[in-house]
A and B are shown apart, each in its own frame.
Chain A
Amino acid sequence: MSFEELKQLIQESFSEAIVAEDELATPKALLVSKDSLHEVCDFLYTNDKTYFDSLSCMTAIDNGVEKSTVEIAYNLYSIPFDIHLMIKVELDRDNPSVVSVSDIWRTADWHEREAFDLVGIHFNNHPDLRRILLPDDWEGHPLRRDYVEQERYHDVKVKY
């Protein structure tokens, strides 16, 4: 199934879900609205024409203070049909929150914890949203563009 057909398939079921598309990206990307993310993902997972059964990667990107947005890119892959798709969602930078897709793909569970840990995105309905790589009492989210390390951690100087 080509990218155009995929786009059409989503548009037929969710008329206002697709906000924009990115033909330059590899695999080609669809930017969907924040509210319809879970529905679209669930549709792509259950539909027998697409059956995106695996979530290869999930990346959270901070676009910086000027743009004031945070993005998440979901790389979907369908093993039986061998098709790729990137789904992107854009969130407000100050208080980013989006619904979790970990009930569809369990891969998302730890990737969302990582996005929460390093970029500071809150995932609603996530079963266990704790920091995954950094300690629980670490301050700030290192992959934010304006991140500044804390001065001391447990009385140990952080900057070296």
Chain B
Amino acid sequence: MTGNSQISIPKSPLERSEPLKYKESDLKREEMIINLGPQHPSTHGVLRLEVVTDGEIVVDVIPHMGYLHRCFEKHAESLAFNQTIPYTDRMDYVAAMNNEWAFVMGVERMLGIDKDIPKRVEYIRVLVSELNRIASHFIAIGTYGMDIGAFTPFLWMMRDREHILRMLEWASGARMLYNYIWVGGLFYDLPVGFEERSKQFVDYLKPKLKDSEDLLINNKIFIERTANIGVLPSDLAINYGINGPMLRASGLKFDLRRVDGYSVYPEIDFDIPVGTGKMGTIGDCWDRNWVRYREIWESIKIIEQCVEKLLGKHKRDRAFDPRAMVPKKIRPKAQDYYVRAENPKGELGFFFRTDGRSDQPLRCKARSPSLSNLSVLAEISKGCMLADLFSILGSMDLNMGEVDR
């Protein structure tokens, strides 16, 4: 440019609202900035990545988010607790049951009614949440396969996920955003025949799951794209606040369903799969997907036990009212409360501050697992190839609705 450098060029709206962190003067010779997203199919939502590259090597990654920010926390401050449940559905919209359960559990514990919830209600909650966990893991693994070039598993998983969504629609009336779990109970009892249908579905799923496992994660191309890529050591993962399948893939046996033992999980028999580095190093992208596959098998085990209980000891009966414990007025005592639960993506936490006078919280903060999972991206992708960046990003199983809230 031959013009006078003193003239200031007016900034574009993007430069004003979402400026790059790196300036031209920060870059070394041969380095350049590549902007990825927010509308990029590999970023799983509206995530914008500012990638500094040296040829094909990634030097630094800066995630820019907030494109899906709805200020959940501000909404929650002006709504009653039971009115906030649909908003929590919209955080991690592929695992809405798990979200609303964590929120409801916090409110119930603040009210002190969590011990009085009927067992049948708790088993139904576990059943629908585990179904939803499988659906969420299907999205994670299926879209991940598509990111790195395997298209068929995605279609297979969407087909099987559709069964789950239809079942949950049968129970709650909505495909994805359910508002099914209420404070103190449920919207309705399960529809007649749901338990048997769950059993049928699980029997149908087992061979299909085996097939897709062989097709995807035991495939040589998949292994070469994922093994030894994006290795996350467990100490780094803990320091970044990462939980869920990502932490377990790094070799730590830590699952809040077991550690906190909330609801009826202590009565249910299931294992916690951990990454073993079977194809490469412990905590690489392959391990993360393998752990998700193992978790689907564990969820199937949980569902089978729930169905057995729901047809046996806690079976349907005419006098059972899932809304019997639903409080007329939700007014917890003045306190600070932090509740956490195991979501498909990690630890979902809610921090409440209540004043004891109203049915609205003074402050409600959502600690989302995806936000913590995303924050480690820059750390583990430095020095990798640009093509591997998507391998790493996809294996984190991000959900931007939850990152931005």
How many A-B pairs have beta carbons closer than 8 Å: the answer is 104
Asked if A56 and B349 sit within 8 Å, CB to CB, the answer is: yes
| Chain A residues, Cβ within 8 Å of B73 | 118, 143
**Complex-state Cα separation, A110 to B340, whole angstroms:** 19
Could you say which of A22, A29, A84, A142 contacts B74, with CB atoms under 8 Å apart? A142
With CB as the reference atom, state the residue of chain B lying closest to A63: B362
Could you say which of A24, A75, A137, A142 contacts B16, with CB atoms under 8 Å apart? A137
Asked if A56 and B340 sit within 8 Å, CB to CB, the answer is: yes
Whether A134 is near chain B, meaning CB under 8 Å from some CB there, is yes
- A interface residues, Cβ below 8 angstroms from B: 22, 24-27, 29, 53-57, 59, 61-62, 73, 75, 79, 82, 84, 86, 105-107, 109-110, 118, 128, 130-138, 142-143, 154
With CB as the reference atom, state the residue of chain A lying closest to B376: A106
Could you say which of A29, A110, A118, A131 contacts B336, with CB atoms under 8 Å apart? A29
Asked if B19 and A86 sit within 8 Å, CB to CB, the answer is: no
Once A57-B349, A75-B349, A136-B19 are accepted as A-B contacts, the answer to whether A27 and B338 lie under 8 Å apart by CB is yes
**Complex-state Cα separation, A143 to B65, whole angstroms:** 18
B82-90, B286-294, B363-371: which one contacts chain A? B363-371
Q: Number of residues in B with C-beta < 8 Å to the partner?
A: 42
Asked if A105 and B338 sit within 8 Å, CB to CB, the answer is: no
B137-145, B146-154, B236-244: which one contacts chain A? B236-244
**Complex-state Cα separation, A128 to B60, whole angstroms:** 14
Whether B345 is near chain A, meaning CB under 8 Å from some CB there, is no
Q: Using a CB-CB cutoff of 8 Å, which residues 6-61 of chain B contact chain A?
A: 13, 16-19, 21
Once A57-B351, A61-B353, A143-B74 are accepted as A-B contacts, the answer to whether A79 and B336 lie under 8 Å apart by CB is no
Whether B372 is near chain A, meaning CB under 8 Å from some CB there, is yes
Once A56-B241, A73-B351, A82-B259 are accepted as A-B contacts, the answer to whether A142 and B336 lie under 8 Å apart by CB is no
